[in-house]
Amino acid sequence: MIFTISARSKPKDVPVMDFLEISYPQIKLTEIDSVFGFVEKSTLYGGRQYVEPELTDDDVKQLNKNKIGLRIPFTNHYATKEEFEENRELLEKYHKKGNAVIVTNDDLAKWIRADYPRYRIEASVIKNINTHAKIRDAMEIYDTVVLPMHLNQDLEFLKKAKNKKRITLFANAGCALNCPSKICYPSVSKYNKFQGGEFKCSQTLKYRQLNGMIDFNLDELVGIGFTRFKLLRSRGKTGF
Q: Where are the domains of the chain?
A: 2-231
Q: What is the pTM of this model?
A: 0.87
Q: Between helices 16-23 and 57-65, what is the axis angle to 10°?
A: 70
Long-range contacts of 179-182 (CB under 8 A, 24+ apart): 179/203, 182/126, 182/128
pLDDT tens for the chain, 240 residues: list them.
999 999 988 988 999 999 999 999 999 999 999 999 999 999 999 877 778 999 999 999 999 999 999 999 999 999 999 999 999 999 999 999 999 999 999 999 999 999 999 999 999 998 999 999 999 999 999 999 999 999 999 999 999 999 999 999 999 987 666 655 565 665 666 666 656 666 656 565 545 554 567 889 999 999 999 999 999 876 554 443
What CATH number belongs to 2-231?
Answer: 3.20.20
